[in-house]
Homo-oligomer: A and B are copies of this chain.
Amino acid sequence: MLSKSEENYLKEIYALSESSKEVVNTSLLANKLATKSPSVTEMLKKLAKKNLLKYEKYKGVKLNTQGKSIALGIIRKHRLWETFLVDKLNFNWDEVHVIAEQLEHIQSDQLTDRLDEFLGFPTMDPHGDPIPNKKGQVIKINKTPLFNMGISEEGVFIGVKSSSDSFLKYLSKNNISIGCKIKIISIEDFDNSLKIEINNLRFNISKDVAQNLYMEVK
List the B residue with the shortest CB-CB distance to A113. Answer: B89
* Contact status B99-A118, CB under 8 Å: no
The contact size tier of chain A is 10 to 19
| Copies of this chain | 2
List the B residue with the shortest CB-CB distance to A4. Answer: B4
* Contact status A111-B88, CB under 8 Å: no
* Contact status B108-A99, CB under 8 Å: yes
CB distance from A192 to the nearest CB of B (A): 38
- What does the 1/0 interface line of A66-110 toward B look like (CB < 8 Å)? 000000000000000000010011110001001100110011101
Query: Contacts A99-B111, A111-B99; is A118 near B106 (CB within 8 Å)?
Result: no
* New A-B pairs, 4, CB < 8 Å, besides A95-B110, A102-B106: A88-B118, A89-B114, A90-B114, A98-B108
Interface residues in chain A, defined as those with a beta carbon under 8 Å from any beta carbon in chain B: 85, 88-91, 95, 98-99, 102-103, 106-108, 110-111, 114-115, 118
Shortest beta-carbon contacts, A-B, top 9: A89-B114, A102-B106, A99-B108, A99-B111, A89-B118, A88-B118, A103-B106, A89-B115, A102-B107
